[in-house]
Structure 1
Amino acid sequence: MRYLLRKILFYIVAFCAAITINFALPRLLPGNPVDVMLAKLAQRGQVAPETREAIEAMLGTTDDASLLSQFGDYLVNIFRGDLGVSVTFFPTPVVTVIGQALPWTILLVGIATVISFVIAQLLGMLAGWKRGGWLDSLIPTSTVLQAVPYFWLALILSYVFAVTLGFFPISGGYDYRTVSAGWSWEFLASAVKYGTLPALTIVISSLGAGLVGMRNMMVSTMAEDYVVTAEAKGLRPRRIMTMYAGRNAILPSVAGFGIALGAVVGGSILTEQVFSYPGIGQTLLQSVQNNDYALMQGVFLIITTSVLLTNFFVDVVYGLIDPRTRHQG
């Protein structure tokens, strides 16, 4: 119980720090979202002088309000579920904009990350178990994957499989010309087809580090006394590999899964840009281009909260897998 309370307190402090940074960063950027909105309205005709005051009040960026006052209003609105109105998609609320983009990114990043993690751990366990085998000899080449940027790999896959071979679409989230969005088999099949290349990019890019790490831990664990004892008892090799060596070798990978997720999310944002995928990354780019404070804050809040919740869940699971961590400190 003390372990759980300590973790909850730590992540509450981290969440408060994330909210503060989230509020400050967009306001350090050059430009003014009110000017962006006025420029859009001016394209439709003349803008009355009082319009600026109304837009400032709506966006919470009035000159009379201090940063501290704006921060207080921001905190109140967060807990009310009101993230403001998007300048980019005016007059659509930020919650609605994020709600339309978030499912795409959750499915893309979530599925790709889990697939990459499982493949890396299984291959790393096999490579460490059979040291010197053909799979183990391929491990050094996997380190190349760690050095390849997400966007570069995305461009290569797009050119080979979309442009040259024509196996997959080059951009988009689904075939909007022939399929209507909704929970139908046609839409799901189209979404899977369009999401294959972005998902493959994330899987390949995040595979190298996990594979090498699991292999090295497996080799180290094989020399432990409990593994040698299990072999001396005549237990089946598969049981020793999975229940004794693999179960303990995977602990550092589980602990680092939450941290690695942050890098995966950052890489997926770039991947979405290459494939014009309608996720959070695309929305974030549009918000930065338009100095859309409210939308930027909303996207950052979702990303940081997701990473913090994932890390908290991983810490709890790690405490269940390895009881020793619950008695530290």
Structure 2
Amino acid sequence: MTNDDLIDRIITPTTHDLGGFKVHRTLPSKPHQMVGPFIFFDQMGPAHLDIGTGIDVRPHPHINLATVTYLFAGAIDHRDSIGTFARIEPGAVNLMTAGHGIAHSERSPGDERAHGPELSGIQTWIAMPEDKEEIDPAFEHVAKANLPLIEAHGATARIIMGELWGQRAPTTVYADTIYADILLAPGASMPIDAGADERAVYLAIGEAEIDGMPMAINTLYVLKPGVAMTLRSANGGRVMLCGGEAFTSERHVWWNFVSSRKDRIQQAKEDWKAGRFAKVPGDEKEFIPIPEIPKTATYP
């Protein structure tokens, strides 16, 4: 098959240098807003920060989405306005459901700062079905040991969300969702079945190809529906697989807000400006103000 038979769209990243580390963003993009329920896809790092420093994402709000944080290296302390305090480390997953509104912060733990934190991982946002957008906010941590691990032919795949290769992750899903971390040793391969409505693969680290087509680093490949494919790596690589149910209604994105309704986003903006979101216990002194021009905005 030709590349046109395999790939629906190739999305190159928008890269932001945040001082000490880079973030590569492939969703949302002007040509392609979502892949299944995934509406935001960021790779953080890889980076090794200076001793005594770390990441400090001050309290900020979300509505009508769920954030999914998954690390390759390092650690992050999560706090939110429903009282959660949780440390995430590589191979585990943090799922924060914003529902009708939540605020949270993400910071490097003190012990990580003492020796110079590592930072490497993926953060995604999941859009919610319309009937679940305004549910109560929630938080869920699933330990590495509780996520299924598939091992075959020099490849390992950790299932983060949904069902793949005959096993299902315990992580909550709100629409049909697939999400996996695939580690390919040199010479290894891994089949990608055709089951989901929409699928994409992303080369995070190293080298890989999809059915003989070389993949570029930090690039999202939206796959043609209904076509089974195989990932391979001659020298070793790490690939994320994401996708799931195709949404039939539009989603609007502005800053940290996602919703099927523009007026709901406007209300969330006003609520944050007016201080109507609940505070984050243990992190009440700081917050991120509403930006004049957000880096994430609706694309028609």
What is the TM-score of this pair, normalised by structure 2? 0.20
Q: Greater relative contact order (Cα 8 A, min sep 6): structure 1 or 2?
A: 1
> Which has the larger share of strand?
2
Q: TM-score, normalised by structure 1?
A: 0.19
Larger radius of gyration: 1
